[in-house]
Copies of this chain bind each other. A is one copy, B any other.
Amino acid sequence: MEDVAKRAGVALGTVSNVINRPQKVSRSTIEKVQRAISELGFVPNRAARALAAGTSNTIGVVIADLSNSFFVDMARGAESVAAESSINVVLANTDMRRSKQASNLDLFRQERMAGILLAPLPGADSSLLTGRNGTPLVFLNDAAIEGACTVSVDNEHGGYLAATHLLAIGRRRLLFAGDPAQAVPIADRLRGVERAVREVVDASLEVIRTPEVQAENGRTLGFDIASRPTSERPDGIIAAADLLALGLVQILGSDPSIRIPEDIAITGYDNNRAAWESLVPITTIAQPGEQIGAVAMALLLEEIRDPEGHEHAHSVLEPTLVVRASTQRT
């Protein structure tokens, strides 16, 4: 930077001003300095800047599992909001390992990031906030944390939406597939389903716990249902996840005695690629991943700009129903 100053015939501080506060510098000086910068191929040193300024203008996003596109969507939403304020975003992948979550958080705090967005592993609590050196932190996809902003999705409402949709198209013998004890969001979804069922007099609900929510589990359950006498089959199935629904559709759809959706209508959850690539496209509940990221970033920027006046908010976003052929012929 000194070389740039010398070459442009100005002082060190002026170069800094050209870079950070151009409105404070005269037009002609800006040009001189910028010419010198490009002639010298000057690359500013952010480490020095972060040190001198006490904070960087980069925000770190720690993601529980990058192989899950839901989280990638959040990152994308966060980035688009950050870009508007020309703030940089870097990511770190927790890869479902608790130790990496901790080390990634440490890393970003040590780098004196302007702020951190964290999509935590299940079971996050406010202990993740301790040890922080004042770096603002917003939680993604987790509502149950005090002492910080959180942005999450209303899973109970998602379950309610799915069930209401099935009830609306005349289904009365509903089946929920997925283990509510396995994950809090699944339990929430089930509660929403139960609420919807309670609202309709002659509707019934059966719950079948699957060990996981993969396609394989859906197929197993599919064979089970196909082997039942017709009268004991459900006429509407709410799967706790799209892959589970996919497995169900694969098996039930290839049974000649069962028509989808006439005999059995099926809904998934998440709006995975699996849902729309299926031979029978699957009705699903779409989670607003990008929106989560965008809202969280907005909250974080607000906290960064006004750390004193900031009050922690808990934003809950609504999922939406995406109707496809697995519940409704087009």
- Whole-angstrom CA separation of A273 from B275 in the bound complex: 13
Size range of the chain A interface in the assembly: 35 or more
Which B residues are CB-close (under 8 A) to A88?
Answer: 103, 107
Provide the bound-state CA to CA distance between A159 and B227, in Å.
Answer: 42
Q: Give chain B residues whose Cβ lies under 8 Å from the Cβ of A110.
A: 43-46
Given known A43-B110, A48-B51, A51-B51, contact A277–B91 (CB-CB < 8 A): no
CA distance A100 to B213 in the complex (A): 35
Bound CA span A76–B133, Å: 28
CB distance B91 to A47 under 8 Å? Answer: no
Given contacts A79-B93, A279-B250, contact A111 B215 (CB under 8 A): no
Assuming A51-B48, A277-B215, is B75 touching A93 (CB within 8 A)? yes
Residue ID in chain B nearest A135 by CB atoms: B43
Q: Which of B75, B103, B279 contacts A254 (CB under 8 A)?
A: B279
Closest 3 CB pairs of A and B: A47-B50, A250-B279, A91-B91
A172 to B254, CA, bound (A): 30
State A133–B40 Cα separation when bound (angstroms). Answer: 11
Q: Is the CB of B67 within 8 A of A95?
A: no
A200 interfacial contact with B, CB 8 Å: no
Complex interface bits, A87-103 against B, C-beta within 8 A gives 1, otherwise 0: 01111110100000001
Interface residues of A, Cβ cutoff 8 Å to B: 41, 43-48, 50-51, 56, 58, 60, 66-67, 69, 72, 75-76, 79, 88-93, 95, 103, 106-107, 109-112, 131, 133, 215, 243, 246, 250, 254, 273-274, 277, 279
Bound CA span A53–B197, Å: 64
Q: How far is the CB of A315 from chain B (nearest CB, A)?
A: 23
Bound-state Cα–Cα, A214 to B50, Å = 45
